[in-house]
Amino acid sequence: MNRIGPLFLRDASGYGGCAMSLPKSFPVSGTLLALFAFVMMLAFGIDFLLALAVLVVWLGSLLLAVSQPPESPILAREQPFTRDNMRDLIEYAATPLLVAERSRITIANRAARRLLGAHVINQDLRVAFRQPAAIKLLSKEVDGSAVVRGLARRRDIWRINRQGIGDDLAVIELINHTVEADISRAHTDFVANASHELRTPLSSIIGYVETLREDSGTLDEATETKFLDTILAEAKRLQALVSDLMSLSRVEAEKHDVPETQVDLGSLVETAARDAAGPERVKRLQLSLTPSLMIRGDAQQLEQLVRNLVDNAFKYGHPDTPVDVVLERFENGQARLSVEDHGEGIAPEHIPHLTRRFYRTDPGRSRASGGTGLGLAIVKHIVERHRGRLDIASEVGKGTRISVRIPLIQSEPAELS
């Protein structure tokens, strides 16, 4: 053992003396080692005073080490947690935390008060939560977890973890799983929508091919030509859909990588807009472009953005109306690209959903025009990668204007439009 009782010091006569209490954790083994080293130094002929000095320093360091008080309550188990230091410990945690004493909430940190309200302090746990799964867990006063829905808002999903501390106290942790559930739901919806969109043209192609194969000798030339044209159109639609799915996947994978290449936005917009219009529609294209607007961007993705916007404007604008493409220097050191059609416009309730995958205001018209329902979703992700902003404004009966703002290279002076 490393503990010894009082040490009695005798006076010169050998009788009487005084008692000196050593620390409870006095290092006996270290002291013996120091004395052994002292004797060995004398045996090897080292000066007595020098050996004695080494012994005194050695013993002094040992006594100093065992006499130092613990630096924190975590290292000193003898200092118990109190409500005050528990409150200070959890107050600024990002996760909502509660401390309950005999099923009554005594401490709630800032995140928990923001979630449940400050009134939960001193409330019974069953009153504070009111969800059957939570009440079942917390009433048993045993460690465990439960998943509850609608804790703060109707679609919230939270996991409640209970961990007991001693006989009376328990820490209750609230972990928000709403975002994970939303992502999972979005992935499920995407797979379902993509499967439906792929199945439709495939079913049409298979149906027409089977008809041609079974009735190849009975169909007239005009009918066969019509069937073949339909097969070709559905195959091109399928090809466009697969191409857009691949583009969306690439854009999403790269959306956190900030582009570094300098791009002349004016010349890029002009080239991409003319390509999207094609020789048949280029006469309806009206360009108003400010030259020498330099940004940092991915040229290929920016060309795709412009083509998608211009193509949509031609599809949904009236056949005899122009499509206006304007590129200008905007406030706060930004370039603003606006593409406007003069079509039927979009009802206000549809505008917040336009950038969702496969969302269409008129599914029949969109499919008939060759749309995949992914164009604006791709545009949104490209704008996010370029740290820009996408705005959609529309008025029923007058048309739709989609604007994209992208920061200019900082060396260019910012002017107000």
Q: Backbone phi, then psi, for 179, in 5-degree steps? A: -65, -45
Return the structure tokens found at 25.
């954790």
Residue with tokens 């609608």: 150
* Kind plus residue range of the DSSP H or E element containing 201: helix 178-214
> Other CB atoms closer than 10 Å to residue 286's CB: what's the count?
12
CA distance 108 to 90: 8
* Kind plus residue range of the DSSP H or E element containing 234: helix 221-254
Which amino acid is present at 55? Answer: L
Among the residues of 108-177, which ranges form H helices?
Answer: 110-116, 125-129, 132-140
Task: Assess contact for 352 and 394: CB atoms under 8 A.
Answer: no
CA distance 307 to 285: 12
Orientation of helix 178-214 relative to helix 221-254, angle to 10°: 160
Where would I find the beta strands (DSSP E) of 226-343?
262-264, 285-289, 294-296, 323-330, 334-340
Return the structure tokens found at 400.
């739709």
* Chain centre to alpha carbon of residue 66: 49
> Other CB atoms closer than 10 Å to residue 199's CB: what's the count?
10
| CB contact burial 387-403 (16+ within 10 A = b; e otherwise) | ebebeeebeeeebbbbb
Q: List, by residue number, the catalytic residues.
A: 196
* Kind plus residue range of the DSSP H or E element containing 127: helix 125-129
Return the structure tokens found at 415.
């002017």
Which amino acid is present at 343? Answer: G
Return the structure tokens found at 333.
């050191």
